[in-house]
Amino acid sequence: MHLPQQTRILRAAVATCGAVALTVGLAACGSSDSGGSGGSGGDDALTVSTIGPVPAFWNPYEPGAPTTTFLDPVYDTLIHYGKDGELQPWLATSWEFTDPTTLELKLRDDVTFTDGATFDADAVKANFQYAIDHKANFADQVFLANIASMNVVDPTTIDLTLTQPNPALPYDFSQASGYMASPKALAAPDGLKQEPVGSGPYVLDTGATRPGVSYVFTANPDYWAADEDAFPYDKVTLSVIADPTAAKNAAATGEVDALVVQPGTEISGFEQVTSLSGDQAGMTGAWLDTTGTTTKALADVRVRQALNYAIDREKLGQAAYQDTAIAVPGVPVPEGDPAYTDELGALYPYDPAKAKQLLAEAGYADGFEMTLISLPPADQFAQAIAGQLKEVGVTVNVETHAADLVQAVQSGTRSAGLVLQRLTGDAGQDLATAFDPNAFFNVHHGSAPEVTDLLQQAAQTSDESARNALYQQAAVAGAESSWYIATLVLQTITAYDPDVVSVEPPDRGAIHLYDYHLPS
């Protein structure tokens, strides 16, 4: 009698466990047709994983506007940036400097925004005026300040009068500065908080979108360039996955078709391409307080050059970035850039003896002490820099700041800090950004007059080869001024499922949605 009762209890246990197992089994069966629900689902759907930042609103012309990742599907730019760096017509059919300070844009006449407003010269004017009035994005300010006046010649022609020559302006119109929003929406911009209103290839599916989690875009049925083979997907999903391992797992299970991966990541069946653009790509290194306000030694250019000689950039790249970084001599100019020369490439070989000699000449034979602001993800890099400089007698105190990074920099009490400058694909602009006297870290207003003079001359030179020659001189002058040390260009590695998508990044500059093609 005793045994059967125990058996019953055991049976109950087995039955419960069985029920759980059955539920799990059923769920597994249910997943076979739903496993891809978060993913591609078919040839005409694309799911791209992103780490953000996610859009706080959809107005392309407010400070803190969404990144190009989120704006590309819904807004068209005036000009496209081609694979080889060549600018291609898009909303603007042609552009020409009728004189050094007048840029004439010819526009398409068959484009309508998703709210029914017409794209024309007045719409372009409304966009730029809005951007100027609202001080737009940080990156756009440089070129916006350049527009003195706008003249609508006819519905398909607009003349921009510039305060000073700027040959890079058409390039700007292929980037964040060139997104065109509906003038009707800009007139009542509150509507752009929740929903974008552009003329782009996709519209935001607000019903399927979960802010901060996933953003779903469906094909714009009235897209003016629907016949062109630029945006072949019916649905594009931007899936926000913060954890790199989770993103990799999602790719391995087919839930994500393309993603940015860390160096050394392998995903079975995925192909990889590298590009010089992306959220974590660009020139990294450390800026220096060239005025010497915080650390007197840094005011001496010989000391700054010594720091560059003391850094083994190849080794640094291997240690911190698994050999995927490209060493550059203190300027954001990698090999292949129009501003690159062999003379530039030969600057700052790893030479600790030369570093010590320069330090001694400057009166710092016994070295000196400085602080370096670092960020949590780049700590290994900062420590490696400190380690290499220690070898020539310079003591670097690494301070890590995360949430209070801006305050730490702006307090003007630190002598150096890590920087990541995105490469735009335009040599002049990259150099101008690197040596901008208003750069956020240049609290004590250091200047590199030789570099800025050369860049200004280049801006006034319409002949391309003459302009590039000036860029080359500016790059060498910039490198010799040693504003930055330990400079590497970080690349973005994009992995993609070749059955769903073929990613073809431009040789330089940012990857856009139109660089995602159907596999051939």
Partner 1 sequence: MTRFVLRRLAVAVPLLLIVAAISFFLVQLVPGSPAAAILGNTATQEQVDTLEQSLGLDQPVLSQFGQWLGHALQGNLGASYTTGQSVSDALAQSVAPTLSLAILSTLLTLVVGLVLGMAAAVRGGRTDRLVQWTGSLGMAIPNFWLAALLIFVFAIKLSLFPAIGYAELGTDGIGPWISHLVLPIIALSAVNLGQIAFQARAAFTDALSRDYVRTLHATGVPRRRVLYKHVLRNASVPVVQVTGLTFIFTLGGVVVLELIFTLPGMGNLMLRSVQNHDFSVVQGGVLYFSLVVVLVNLVIDVATAALDPRVRVR
Which residues contribute to the site for partner 1 (CB under 8 A)?
1-2, 5-6, 8-10, 12-13, 16-17, 20, 23-24, 26-35, 37-38, 53-57, 63-64, 135, 138, 193-194, 210-214, 239, 241-243, 245-246, 249-250, 252-253, 255, 402-407, 409-410, 438, 440
State in angstroms the smallest separation of the CB of 22 from partner 1. Answer: 12
Decide whether 46 or 394 has the Cβ nearer to partner 1. 46
**Through-space distance between the first and last CA atoms of the chain, rounded to whole angstroms:** 74
Using CA atoms, how far apart are residues 150 and 157, in angstroms rounded to an integer?
Answer: 11
State in angstroms the smallest separation of the CB of 412 from partner 1. Answer: 12
CA proximity to 431, closest of 512, 299, 338: 338
Phi and psi angles of residue 445, each rounded to the nearest 5 degrees, phi first: 60, 50
Sign, CA dihedral 112-115-117-121, equals: negative
CA proximity to 202, closest of 61, 70, 109: 70
**Residue position matching structure tokens 């490696």:** 384
Q: Concatenated DSSP letters for 405-431?
A: HHHHHHTT--SEEEEEE---S-HHHHH
Q: Concatenated DSSP letters for 439-459?
A: -TT-TT----HHHHHHHHHHH
**Residue position matching structure tokens 């910039």:** 478
Decide whether 167 or 282 has the Cβ nearer to partner 1. 282
CA proximity to 435, closest of 414, 412, 413, 458: 458
Decide whether 276 or 378 has the Cβ nearer to partner 1. 378
Using CA atoms, how far apart are residues 70 and 196, in angstroms rounded to an integer?
Answer: 10
**Furthest CA-CA distance within the chain:** 106
For residue 196, give the H/E element and its range: none
Using CA atoms, how far apart are residues 366 and 222, in angstroms rounded to an integer?
Answer: 70
Decide whether 67 or 157 has the Cβ nearer to partner 1. 67
Using CA atoms, how far apart are residues 169 and 165, in angstroms rounded to an integer?
Answer: 9
State in angstroms the smallest separation of the CB of 460 from partner 1. Answer: 27
CA angle (397, 401, 402) in 5-degree steps: 160
State in angstroms the smallest separation of the CB of 138 from partner 1. Answer: 5
Decide whether 308 or 421 has the Cβ nearer to partner 1. 421
Q: For residue 10, give the 3-state DSSP assignment.
A: helix
Decide whether 87 or 240 has the Cβ nearer to partner 1. 240
State in angstroms the smallest separation of the CB of 243 from partner 1. Answer: 5
State in angstroms the smallest separation of the CB of 443 from partner 1. Answer: 10
Q: Where are the beta strands (DSSP E) in 125-219?
A: 147-154, 157-162, 179-180, 202-204, 214-219
**CB proximity list for 310: less than 8 A, separation 6 or greater:** 352, 355, 388, 389, 391, 392, 394
State in angstroms the smallest separation of the CB of 401 from partner 1. Answer: 8
Decide whether 240 or 301 has the Cβ nearer to partner 1. 240
Decide whether 353 or 402 has the Cβ nearer to partner 1. 402
State in angstroms the smallest separation of the CB of 37 from partner 1. Answer: 6
State in angstroms the smallest separation of the CB of 402 from partner 1. Answer: 8
Decide whether 29 or 346 has the Cβ nearer to partner 1. 29
Decide whether 9 or 346 has the Cβ nearer to partner 1. 9
Decide whether 52 or 292 has the Cβ nearer to partner 1. 52
Instruction: State how beta strands 214-219 and 235-240 pair.
Output: antiparallel
State in angstroms the smallest separation of the CB of 104 from partner 1. Answer: 32
Decide whether 336 or 377 has the Cβ nearer to partner 1. 377
State in angstroms the smallest separation of the CB of 2 from partner 1. Answer: 7
State in angstroms the smallest separation of the CB of 31 from partner 1. Answer: 3
Long-range contacts of 377-383 (CB under 8 A, 24+ apart): 378/284, 378/320, 378/418, 380/319, 380/320, 381/284, 381/316, 381/320, 381/321, 381/418, 381/486, 382/286, 382/418
